[in-house]
Structure 1
Amino acid sequence: MRALLVVNPAATTTSARTRDVLAHALASDLKLEVAATEYRGHARDLARQAAEGGEIELVVALGGDGTVNEVVNGLLHNGPDPEGLPKLAVVPGGSTNVFARALGLPNDAVEATGALLDALRERSSRTVGLGLVSGTPGTEDEGVPARWFTFCAGLGFDAGVVGRVEQQREHGKRSTHALYIRQVMRQFLAEPNRRTGTITLERPGEDPVTDLVLTLVCNTSPWTYLGNRPIYASPRASFDTALDVLGLSRLSTAAVARYATQLLRSTPERGPEGKHATSLHDLTDFTLHSQAPLPFQVDGDHLGLRMSATFTGVRRALRVIV
């Protein structure tokens, strides 16, 4: 099998020596080409070339969730085709690795490589659903390029946290869970709309959900991890269904304390709930509108400010080796 290994040299938890060992192990079972990313978006470009070239059968992403997202967007540049496109494999190398862990892969890069090689020998794979977000027709965001996401997107509070973390990383800070917690607190103190939200969720044939402060769009569960603890914002979200949404209409001090506690205690059977929480399951098409520009993120990548975004849940989008 001809394969392309896309390596992010800046991956948080994988050293250069480990990457070399992993590449050597993969090359023992694959006709392997190795490409290191050199700029933001490079992994997307490499995966697109692999998909359009017609010779590569497998693309392996070695890096964090951002690298995986770029590879997925490159593979799906011309749309989903699970049987015709190269398959995807993931070796976790980031700080959280939500997508890889949601697939059931070990969080250690060496162990995950062993699991990948076993899956290749056993011809084990699955088709996963993904989310697609695009600009909303008739709005100022209409021309925004569409973007695939593997596990989550968000408009509002959580995206503001992501933006703050990225700013800290640009100043040399390491991406740690402690860093995220500090930025959550700073975003909460600076949040101007925590008592009256500006976001409305619209979906065909249903009444709109209004006055949301926070909207998390989940493609799988867990939503994220705090160390080794899985956090379930939308417990019923799955790679086998469309998209789930958790919306919160208030972020007062009491509400934040309540929902943070619920998230920390969340399980595959139970997530956040209450009179200010809205949970929606298996949505294929919906749009988020805001009365003011808000931070927007996709798979933990801050994409600036948006006033609207249109979401599509695409079942059976891509074949993954697991």
Structure 2
Amino acid sequence: MRAMIISNPTSGASETMLGEIVGTVESLYDEILIRKTLGQGDAARFAEASGSFEHLIVIGGDGTLHEVVNGLMSLPKDERPTVGLVPGGTCNDFARALDLPVEPIEAARLFKMSHVQPVDVMRVNDRYGLNFIGVGLIADASRQIDPLQKESLGSIGYFLATIRQFRELDPFDVRIEQDGEVVHDGPISFLYVGNGAYLGTVPTKLPTQSFTDGLVEVVHSSAIGFPMIRQLLTQQLGLEHSSPEWVHLQMSQLTVHLSESQIIDVDGEHFEADRLHIDVLTSELTFLVPSH
């Protein structure tokens, strides 16, 4: 069995850590090819060339994983290797959703006793994501996080940035369609479309959230002010206290029409758009996950 390792040195994957991870997994493989990223786009390019390997081990954070997913999705489904994820970033949200240890060496040790888990992939226009899509408050907050603050405070930095947004937050008009039927048409302060179960290291607490059910969680809100801050800080996306200002739906596909171009956040990566077509591709990738 052959494995490719994609390692992002800027996501905590030091030479020492890389050596320890290779030493941990080398007995599982006849051949290991190591690829180190030097800049944006490298992880995607390496993933595109991983079709002849049975396993693709990714050492890095959510940004590295996002690139890898987009690279893998350019391959035919039957040529995509199974992904072994070794968390190396700040949040590692999808690693948490997979119930992986956030300590890299511990995660690598699990490869010896793991099983293969199919995972849904979200297609967003011409790109792909695993964890979430954010518009409005969520996208603005993640863009405003100072990198040093993110490194030292983790999810707290995310929420500090979120609170700052209230000083300048204006609702925006959006039309959401499902199978051609309008399910919302009016102003909202944010839109969250989730496949994973964590946002900024904090569980979203949506009881129906699953990355294997062919559905995404769609949450939007028109709430502004202290009640919304309280909800966000405690991550009550599970809507334990129901409110007409919070809407939660499940969909396999949706189209989002924005009144003007907005910053869109897909797994922490940003682009601008005024229209999103989102659909769920069921069981498109496979990951190594802990055996329970």
Partner residue, 1:300: 268
One-letter amino acid of the counterpart of residue 239, structure 1: F
Partner residue, 1:47: 47
Change (3 A) 1:181 1:87: same
- Deviation track 1:66-92 (CA, whole Å, cap 9, x = no partner) reads 11111111111145x2x4421111011
Change (3 A) 1:261 1:86: closer
Partner residue, 2:129: 149
CA distance in 2, matches of 1:319, 1:263: 28
How far apart are residue 132 of structure 1 and its match? Answer: 0.6
CA distance in 1, matches of 2:241, 2:74: 35
Partner residue, 2:124: 133
Partner residue, 2:106: 111
SS of residue paired to 1:27: helix
1:67 lines up with 2:34 in the alignment: no
For structure 1, the residue ranges without an aligned partner over 5 or more in a row are 135-145
Change (3 A) 1:203 1:163: same
The percent identity for this pair of structures is 24
How far apart are residue 174 of structure 1 and its match? Answer: 4.4
Report the TM-score, using the length of structure 2 for normalisation: 0.90
SS of residue paired to 1:190: coil
One-letter amino acid of the counterpart of residue 34, structure 1: I
CA distance in 1, matches of 2:280, 2:246: 22
Q: CA RMSD in A?
A: 2.0
Change (3 A) 1:2 1:78: closer
CA distance in 2, matches of 1:262, 1:39: 35
CA distance in 2, matches of 1:290, 1:256: 22
Selected match of 2:218 from 223, 245, 251: 245
CA distance in 1, matches of 2:23, 2:3: 13
1:76 lines up with 2:73 in the alignment: yes
Change (3 A) 1:174 1:98: closer
Change (3 A) 1:208 1:77: same
One-letter amino acid of the counterpart of residue 184, structure 1: T
Alignment length, in residue pairs?
284
How far apart are residue 286 of structure 1 and its match? Answer: 0.8
Change (3 A) 1:248 1:74: same
How far apart are residue 180 of structure 1 and its match? Answer: 1.6
One-letter amino acid of the counterpart of residue 278, structure 1: V
CA distance in 1, matches of 2:120, 2:241: 24
Selected match of 2:243 from 250, 274, 285: 274
SS of residue paired to 2:128: strand
Partner residue, 1:285: 253
Selected match of 2:195 from 216, 219, 222: 219
- Deviation track 1:105-131 (CA, whole Å, cap 9, x = no partner) reads 111111111112222xxxx21111111
Moved over 4 A (4+): none
Selected match of 2:142 from 162, 173, 180: 162
Partner residue, 1:209: 184
Selected match of 2:174 from 183, 199, 204: 199
For structure 2, the residue ranges without an aligned partner over 5 or more in a row are none
